[in-house]
Chain A
């Protein structure tokens, strides 16, 4: 789960990290009030859950009321990578003398939490990593929760030159780590962390992602979820315990298991078709799930045919067949349906569907060929 910059700022602030003054606004009047309170110049920043907002014109500086109004009207309603800007962060603008990148994430290959820092902050860190990898320093926690102060000085002095800055940087990392563990983050990032002309240190931008698997431990985070930024069909699927991702083709797919679902999409593409979605009905074989899956898929008016590809393991083919028959009773299935059933209770499932005049396939390639020709 991702949250907005202003929400990430608030979480980091709780753990003692100093940001420039700022507040989020969704109306021009609010934005003006915030600017009056903190004083011009201010920077207006679009709050969207995707990167690249600066390049898209979502960040603007304002020195007075008139500029603020112009900037606000430009950013509000701007569409960045498909997401409409609803909220804008208004924050004090500062004279940046130097910018740094500070981040914490999980290195999956090394099974460890890693601190990443760079003295080339303020820009896209993945670009820095590609072009000038020597400007990026990594510090592995080696299974500990805190910074190992024996190894640490070598790391931090590669980022910050003077001892006072090293001290500041260390304190910020310690507070970021507390945030990271307290909320089961998968990413905690401050980019940039800056020093201004007067020698004051501030965090200017914040990004936090949470591990979806750990959200059960943090019911307080639920209010931070921005429903408007998520696809309504994907949200509905999630509430039905289905894993669903919308794609741009015309073949609806219902598959059991994520790997088989991905492979099914690949085979559809290879045989000349175009999948409309990824949908994993999961391991259990509740007929209700098939009905829900069918309803969500048929909402997409582009869908011209539906493929159901099931390899029964824990999922029983007869339960899937019952779900298909039940779905046919509850709703009008306006497109042809291609069903492939193999595995646990295959004979029972196939028999049930044959009674209802469905054609079934036992090979994945045959079923995919059939659905691709029907969707053309």
Chain B
């Protein structure tokens, strides 16, 4: 098993005829993802790498049975793209688009709350269940199927962490990039819940960063509910206060959102927080061996 996506995921790509959309459609197809439909208003009837293009999500869903949508449209159209998915009842929405206005996301979250849809992103690399399905922009070849669940607020830093795992022979159940914006759909706590329930996932890596309070909420959740070992790295220890470090969410605004405060809170909840990303595999191996020994 894995979480959120697997070999049965039927994906539709919004913005499939655009530069980014078509490029990543090809990469996802190469990985083995079942890309069943594309959507670009006004371009219905065309195809992109053999994937049929429709004018609307409703039509694409009706004709192909797509249950997951990935969004590559420009920032000014992202809100409408997400709302269209929610209206039609798409179960999982992944918004890759960077630069979506925050108040657009406030509107989206209000509608999302009363719906059955789940949202990952915006401004995220997407997610991958290695060997089964890849939805997003991450390089597929650095991943390997296995027992580690990875969740992160970053893109390339996630690749760094995953690559270290793969080199050490530790495969991944699912790797999720939640996105670097102040307001995103699913957050650490939502993903931790899914990983705790997933039998394939034996241990979890959580990559956090400065800004916001998500790591603090995660710590509260972990204290009460964690049944699997968690190792964490928090980026931004050297970030100057008040400066935006690339991610809109990565700005230190209150005492609680510094890297040091987050590290302390997570350690208090029993999480092993490492200083270097390349220390993660070693610690995970130790923790997994320990739990295996207990079983024996």
Contacts and interface: CB of A to CB of B under 8 A. Distances in A.
A214 to B, nearest CB: 4
A111 interface: yes
Given A111-B106, A365-B278, A259 B157 contact: yes
Contacts of A269: 237-238
B270 interface: no
Interface stretch (A29-37, A195-203, A311-319): A311-319
B237 A343 contact: no
Contacts of B238: 247, 262, 265-266, 268-269, 275
**B110, B142, B246, B259: residue with the most chain A Cβ atoms closer than 10 Å:** B246
Contacts of B107: 143
A189 B29 CA distance: 49
Q: How large is the interface on A (under 10, 10 to 19, 20 to 34, 35 or more residues)?
A: 35 or more
Contacts of A312: 139
B31 to A, nearest CB: 13
A364 interface: yes
Given A258-B246, A262-B245, A311-B160, A211 B277 contact: no
A259 B106 contact: no
Contacts of A344: 139
Q: How large is the interface on B (under 10, 10 to 19, 20 to 34, 35 or more residues)?
A: 35 or more
A371 interface: no
Contact of A186 (B100, B102, B152): B102
Given A213-B75, A259-B157, A266-B238, A109 B101 contact: no
A78 B109 CA distance: 45
Contacts of B103: 106, 113, 181, 184, 211, 214
A335 to B, nearest CB: 20
Contacts of B275: 266, 270
B236 A262 contact: yes
Interface string B221-261: 00000000000010111111001111111100010000100
A247 B241 CA distance: 12
Q: Is the interface of A mostly helix, strand, loop or mixed?
A: mixed
B81 to A, nearest CB: 16
A263 B103 CA distance: 29
Contacts of B158: 259
B212 interface: yes
B83 to A, nearest CB: 13
B180 interface: yes
B183 to A, nearest CB: 5
Contacts of A179: none
Interface string A348-376: 00000000000000011100000000000
Contact of A113 (B99, B106, B138): B106
Contacts of A258: 154-155, 180, 245-247, 250
A247 B240 contact: yes
Contacts of A109: 212-214, 217
Contacts of B6: none
A212 interface: yes
Contacts of B245: 243, 245, 258, 261-262, 278
Given A112-B106, A113-B106, A311 B159 contact: yes
Contact of A263 (B160, B212, B217, B240): B160
Nearest to A180: B103
B183 A106 contact: yes
B237 A260 contact: no
A261 B276 contact: no
Nearest to A313: B139
Contact of A257 (B23, B110, B154, B233): B154
A87 interface: no
Contacts of B239: 262, 265, 278
A280 interface: yes
A217 B75 CA distance: 11
Contacts of A363: 278
B154 A313 contact: no
21 contacts: A106-B102, A143-B110, A186-B102, A211-B102, A213-B99, A213-B101, A245-B244, A257-B157, A260-B156, A260-B160, A262-B210, A262-B245, A265-B239, A266-B236, A266-B259, A266-B275, A267-B277, A275-B238, A283-B155, A313-B137, A314-B137
Which 4 pairs show the lowest CB-CB distances between chains A and B?
Answer: A259-B154, A258-B246, A257-B156, A143-B110
Interface of B: 23, 75-76, 99-107, 109-110, 113, 125, 137-139, 142, 152-160, 163, 180, 182-183, 207, 209-210, 212-214, 217, 233, 235-240, 243-250, 254, 259, 275-278
